[in-house]
Amino acid sequence: MTTTELLRAESVIKRYDGVAALRGANFSVANGEVHALVGENGAGKSTLARIIAGATRADSGRIFFEGNEVSISSPLDAQRLGIAIIFQELDLFPHLTIAENIAIGNLKLERQAFVRRRELDLWCQPFLDQVGALDSPRTVLANLPIAHMQLVAIARALSLDARLILMDEPTSSLSDDAVERLFATVNRLKQGGVSVVFVSHRLKEIFRICDTITVLRDGSTIGTKTTQSTDANEIVTMMAGRPLKDRPIAKRGVSSDVLLSVSQLTTGRIQNISFDLRRGEVLGVAGLVGAGRSELGAALFGLRRLVRGRVQINGQPVEISSPRAAIEAGVGMLPEDRKLQGLMMQMTVLENSSMAVLPRYQSWGIIRRKKELVAMEAVHQRTALKAASPDVPVSTLSGGNQQKVLLAKWLLMEPAVLFLDDPTRGIDVAAKADIYETIHAAASRGMGIIFVSSELPELLQCCHRIMVLHEGRNAGILEGAQATQESIMALATATAPALSGQSGLPA
Amino acid sequence: MKTRYSERPPLEAPGRLSTARSTGTDRAGAIRLLYRLQALVALLGIIVLAIILSPRAADGSNIFLEAGNLTDILRQVSVTGIIAVAMTFVILTAGIDLSVGSTLALGTSVVAIGLTRWSVPLGDVGRISLAIIAALAAGAAVGALNGAVVAGASIQPFVVTLATMIGVRGLAKWLTDNANIDIGFGQDVAAVFAAFISRKVVVIGSLLVMAAVFWLVLDVTVFGRYVRAVGDNERVARYTGLPIARVKIWVYTLSGLLSGLAGVIYAAENHQGNPNAGVAYELDAIAAVVIGGTSLMGGKGSVSGTVVGTLILGILTNVLRLNNVDSNVEMMVKAVIILLAVAVMSRRKSE
Amino acid sequence: MANRTLALLLGTQFLLLTACHSSAPGPESDQKQLFVAFSQCNNAEPYRAAQNALMTELWAQYPDVKLVIADAGQDDNKQIAQVETFIREKPDLLIVAPNERAPLTAVMGQAVQSGIPVICLERDILEPNYTTYISADNRDIGRMAGQFIVDYLSKKYGRPQGNVVQIKGLLGVEAEIARNDGAHDVFARYPGIKIVNDAVADWIQAKAKDRMTEALRANPHIDVVYAHNDPMAIGAYLAAHDLGREKEMIFVGVDGLGGPNGGIKKVMDGILAATFVYPLCVDKAVEVGNRILRDRNFKPDKVYTLHSTMITQQNAAEAYGQFTFTN
Chain B residues close to C17, C-beta within 8 Å? 53
Q: Residue B5 falls within a domain, yes or no?
A: no
- Whether C and A touch (3+ CB pairs < 8 Å), yes or no: no
pLDDT for C195 beyond 60: yes
Contact B9 A360 (CB under 8 A): yes
Split at pLDDT 50, 70, 90, the class of A240 is low
What is the domain range of residue B307? 66-349
Task: Give the mean model confidence (pLDDT) for residues A352-378.
Answer: 91
Q: Where in chain C is the domain with CATH 3.40.50.2300?
A: 34-137+280-306, 138-278+311-323
Q: Which residues of chain B have pLDDT under 50?
A: 1-4, 10-25, 349-351
Entry pTM:
0.76
Split at pLDDT 50, 70, 90, the class of A18 is low
Q: Average model confidence (pLDDT) for chain C?
A: 89
Q: Residue B73 falls within a domain, yes or no?
A: yes
pLDDT in tens, A112-148: 666 677 888 888 888 888 777 788 888 888 888 777 7
Across the A:B interface, residue pairs with CB atoms under 8 Å apart total: 142
pLDDT for A369 beyond 70: yes
Tell me what percent of the residues of chain A surpass a pLDDT of 70. 89
Question: CB contact, 8 Å: C102 with chain B?
Answer: yes
Provide the pLDDT for residue A117: 79
Q: Residue B21 falls within a domain, yes or no?
A: no
Provide the pLDDT for residue A507: 35
Provide the pLDDT for residue B33: 63
Tell me what percent of the residues of chain B surpass a pLDDT of 70. 87
Report the CATH number at residue B234: 1.10.3470
pLDDT in tens, A249-287: 556 677 778 899 999 999 988 889 999 999 999 999 988
What spatial distance separates the first Cα and last Cα of chain B, rounded to whole Å?
50
Question: CB contact, 8 Å: C5 with chain B?
Answer: yes
Each residue of C252-283: b (16+ CB within 10 Å) or e?
bbbbbbbbeebbbbbbeeebbbbbbbbbbbbe
Provide the pLDDT for residue A21: 79
Task: Give the mean model confidence (pLDDT) for residues A7-30.
Answer: 84
CA distance B28 to chain A (A): 5
Task: Write out the H or E segment, with its range, that includes residue A275.
Answer: strand A273-278
CA distance C237 to chain B (A): 24
Provide the pLDDT for residue A129: 82
Split at pLDDT 50, 70, 90, the class of A490 is confident
Contact C70 B49 (CB under 8 A): no
Chain C residues close to B35, C-beta within 8 Å? 1
Split at pLDDT 50, 70, 90, the class of C31 is low
Q: Closest by alpha carbon to C165, among C200, C206, C199?
A: C199
Task: Give the mean model confidence (pLDDT) for residues A237-255.
Answer: 60
User: Residue C33 carries which side chain, given as an amino acid letter?
Assistant: Q
Split at pLDDT 50, 70, 90, the class of A79 is confident
pLDDT in tens, A46-77: 889 989 999 888 889 999 998 889 999 888 88
Provide the pLDDT for residue A101: 87
Which subunits have 3 or more CB–CB pairs within 8 Å of chain A?
Answer: B
pLDDT for C16 beyond 80: no
Chain A residues close to B296, C-beta within 8 Å? none
Interface mutation vs chain B, best among A303, A313, A324, A333, most B CBs within 10 Å: A324
Provide the pLDDT for residue B272: 92
Q: Compute the C-alpha angle C264/C266/C272, nearest 5°.
A: 100
The C-alpha atoms of residue B263 and residue B246 are separated, in whole angstroms, by: 26
CATH 3.40.50.2300 fits C34-137+280-306, yes or no: yes
Provide the pLDDT for residue B115: 94
Tell me what percent of the residues of chain C surpass a pLDDT of 90. 71
Q: Which of A339-353, A487-501, B90-104 has the lowest mean pLDDT?
A: A487-501
Task: Give the mean model confidence (pLDDT) for residues A320-329.
Answer: 90
pLDDT in tens, C260-305: 888 999 999 999 999 999 988 999 999 999 999 999 888 999 999 9
Provide the pLDDT for residue C230: 94
The C-alpha atoms of residue B294 and residue B345 are separated, in whole angstroms, by: 9
User: Residue C285 carries which side chain, given as an amino acid letter?
Assistant: A
Number of domains comprising chain B: 1
Task: Give the mean model confidence (pLDDT) for residues A410-421.
Answer: 92
pLDDT in tens, B96-141: 999 999 999 999 999 999 999 998 888 889 999 999 999 999 999 9
Split at pLDDT 50, 70, 90, the class of A109 is low
Chain B residues close to C127, C-beta within 8 Å? 185
The C-alpha atoms of residue B279 and residue B277 are separated, in whole angstroms, by: 6
Q: Name the more confident of B25 and C134.
A: C134
CA distance A257 to chain B (A): 19
List all residues 6 or more positions away from C140 whose beta carbon is below 8 Å from its beta carbon: C182, C307, C308
Task: Give the mean model confidence (pLDDT) for residues C142-146.
Answer: 95
Contact B327 C16 (CB under 8 A): no
Write out the DSSP string of A83-137: EEEE-SS----TTSBHHHHHHTT-HHHHTSS---HHHHHHHHHHHHHHHT--S-T
Interface mutation vs chain C, best among B270, B308, B349, most C CBs within 10 Å: B270
Task: Write out the H or E segment, with its range, that includes residue A423.
Answer: none
Provide the pLDDT for residue B23: 35
Task: Give the mean model confidence (pLDDT) for residues A14-27.
Answer: 80
| CATH class given for the domain over A5-240 | alpha beta
Contact B180 C172 (CB under 8 A): yes
Annotation: CATH topology of C138-278+311-323: Rossmann fold (3.40.50)
Q: Chain C residue with minimal CA distance to B78? A: C77
Q: Name the more confident of B255 and C5.
A: B255
> A13, A58 in Cβ contact below 8 A?
yes
| CATH class given for the domain over A257-330+416-424+456-507 | alpha beta
Each residue of C147-180: b (16+ CB within 10 Å) or e?
bbbbebbbeeeeebbbbbbbbbbbbbbbbbbbbb
Chain B residues close to C19, C-beta within 8 Å? 320, 323, 325, 329-330, 333
Chain B residues close to C125, C-beta within 8 Å? none
CA distance B214 to chain A (A): 13
Provide the pLDDT for residue C68: 94
Domain boundaries, chain A: 5-240, 257-330+416-424+456-507
Chain B residues close to C7, C-beta within 8 Å? 344
Distances in Å between the Cα of A188 and the Cα atoms of A32, A130, A184, A191, B246 are 10, 8, 6, 5, 56
The answer to whether domain A5-240 and domain A257-330+416-424+456-507 are alike in fold is: yes
Provide the pLDDT for residue C29: 44
Q: What is the widest separation between alpha-carbon atoms in chain A?
A: 70
Question: CB contact, 8 Å: C127 with chain B?
Answer: yes
Contact A359 B221 (CB under 8 A): no
Helices (H), B118-221: 124-153, 157-175, 189-197, 200-220
Chain B residues close to C76, C-beta within 8 Å? 270, 274, 277
CA distance B107 to chain A (A): 29
SS (H, E, C) chain C: CHHHHHHHHHHHHHHHHHHHHHCCCCCCCCCCCEEEEEEECCCCCHHHHHHHHHHHHHHCCCCCEEEEEEECCCCHHHHHHHHHHHHHHCCCEEEECCCCHHHHHHHHHHHHHCCCCEEEECCCCCCCCCCEEEEECHHHHHHHHHHHHHHHHHHHHCCCCEEEEEEECCCCCHHHHHHHHHHHHHHCCCCCEEEEEEEECCCCHHHHHHHHHHHHHHCCCCCEEEECCHHHHHHHHHHHHHCCCHHHCEEEEEECCCCCCCHHHHHHCCCCCEEEECCCCHHHHHHHHHHHHHCCCCCCCCEEEECCCEEECCCHHHHHHHHCCCC
Split at pLDDT 50, 70, 90, the class of A448 is very high
Provide the pLDDT for residue B18: 35
Provide the pLDDT for residue C134: 94
Split at pLDDT 50, 70, 90, the class of A174 is confident
